Amino acid sequence: MSKKMKIMYAAGPGNVIGTFDFWRKGQDDPSQVSMTFSGQFYDVCSALDAEGYIIASNSEKKVLKDGRFMLEHRPVLLSKQSGVLYHLGQILYELSFVISALLFKADVVVGNPTSYFFVSSLLPKLGIQVIPSLHCLLWSKCISQRNFAEINYPKFDKNLDLYKFFVLYVEQVVLAKILRFKASLFWKINSKFFAKDCLAILSTSEDINDQVKQITNSQSCPVVNFLSTYRRTEFENVTPPSQDKSTFHVLFAGRIEADKGVFDLLEIAKRFKAECRSNIVFHICGTGSVLELLSKQVEEFELHSTFVLNGYCNKPKMQQMFSLSHVVIVPTKSDFNEGLNQVVIEGVLANRPIITSSVCPALAYVQEAVVEVPPDDVEAYGDAILKLHDNYDLYEEKQQSCKKLQEPFYSDSRSWSEALKSILKKL
């Protein structure tokens, strides 16, 4: 009898044990709109008759053994610390994963516990193949766009005293040089992993592919792309956008964090109030660390009627919010390492025009349905909303384009599980 393959998977901070409970009943995790990656991992192990060990960076420690599967929620050490202690915790977590792979006698490790990829270079030396699964940019777009090639040196003029010039020099030159050095050193250490130590690389966007090429001088291990995958049934109950635009509904869904652009949306709402555009209503769905602060500012500027905070929305509620909305907006800031951003995709699957910027790698897949704006340009985001509200032809063009772009996200052939199986079957 041939030995069963042993596959270990480093998942994110989700509830993989909860997902497993639904998976073994033949159901999708109801907390997620897209097909979960952990659920797809269970599918892959079953299809290949392999043993699977999945570890999620969940803060609630828990272990479950069920048949061919071992599932673990493992908290990340020092995750609430900052500075050196935070980075030490990340490296220790990565090392604990290497040790677990050895104890499990894994044949292959999929995913990446942290962004300290160089630690995973230990695995091939121990006889274990590695397939990183890249869901987010390796570095933020603001770094990528500057590329640290140039630094804007401030010029001294009569309007600046010596103290202000010194502060400006520190901000624009010293800090930029430190950041450039740290980024250069970090990716120089990680580059060998992507160039030589991987069996293959799973990637969800061309932007990620380009960054891998950049740090490896186009000499990376083979890259296999995948997309987020959805069931058609998830959007069957979403109604077409209302033809009545007397109240124009703008939907934001995601984490309520500053780097997700929620305060930019608040600024736009304040602008529209000043311009007497009270018929444009923002619906904010999600939770996060700045939700309380955002709520206080909504009260302070008396925006309750045009800036609605819905908090966490389960799947049925999100279907209602998509049905209510006319457009979906994704104003992620350029200093955030964005992933494919599933809200962009889900907006298209709901037949809603999207407003976003090149910060979101998903833009490349759904460009025809998007009104693209420059990153971090609050005024441009507001103008884009007005264009879609005021220009019927533009709105119809973007809305109709959604239907042409949906099929790849419903196709199993473009899924993460199929991409992973295509690599594993060559072992």
Structure tokens at 195: 């160039």
Domains 6-154+189-229+411-424 and 232-410 share a fold: yes
Query: In the predicted model, what is the mean pLDDT of residues 1-16?
Result: 88
Number of H helices and E strands in the chain, helices first, is 18, 15
Q: Which of 347, 341, 357 is nearest to 403 (CA)?
A: 347
Q: Taking 60 as the threshold, does the pLDDT of residue 22 lie above it?
A: yes
User: 152-180, pLDDT tens digit by residue?
Assistant: 555 556 565 666 656 655 555 555 555 55
Integer Cα distance of 139 and 133 in angstroms = 15
List the chain domain ranges: 6-154+189-229+411-424, 232-410
Query: What stretch of H or E contains 380?
Result: helix 378-390
- For residue 372, report the phi and psi dihedrals to the nearest 5 degrees: -90, 140
CB 94 within 8 A of CB 56: no
Please report, for residues 191, 205, 315, the alpha-carbon distance to residue 220 in angstroms, rounded to integers and kept in the order given: 9, 15, 39
User: 305-318, pLDDT tens digit by residue?
Assistant: 999 999 999 999 99
Query: What stretch of H or E contains 284?
Result: strand 280-285
311 vs 31, higher pLDDT: 311
Which one-letter DSSP state was computed for residue 230?
A: -
Integer Cα distance of 210 and 203 in angstroms = 10
User: 257-276, pLDDT tens digit by residue?
Assistant: 999 999 999 999 999 999 99
User: 201-244, pLDDT tens digit by residue?
Assistant: 999 999 999 999 988 999 999 999 999 999 999 999 999 999 99
Token pair 């800031």: residue = 333
Integer Cα distance of 338 and 136 in angstroms = 5
Residues 6+ away with beta carbon under 8 Å from 80? none
3-state SS of 333-351?
A: CCCCCCECCHHHHHHHHCC
Predicted pLDDT at 71? 98
Q: Which of 375, 374, 365 is nearest to 401 (CA)?
A: 365
Token pair 């083979």: residue = 222
Predicted pLDDT at 177? 58
Integer Cα distance of 30 and 19 in angstroms = 9
Residues 6+ away with beta carbon under 8 Å from 250? 280, 281, 282, 283, 325, 326, 327, 328, 329, 385
Q: What number does CATH give the domain 232-410?
A: 3.40.50.2000
Predicted pLDDT at 308? 97
Identity at 379, one-letter amino acid code = E
CB 356 within 8 A of CB 332: yes
Whether domain 6-154+189-229+411-424 has CATH 3.10.590.10: the reply is no
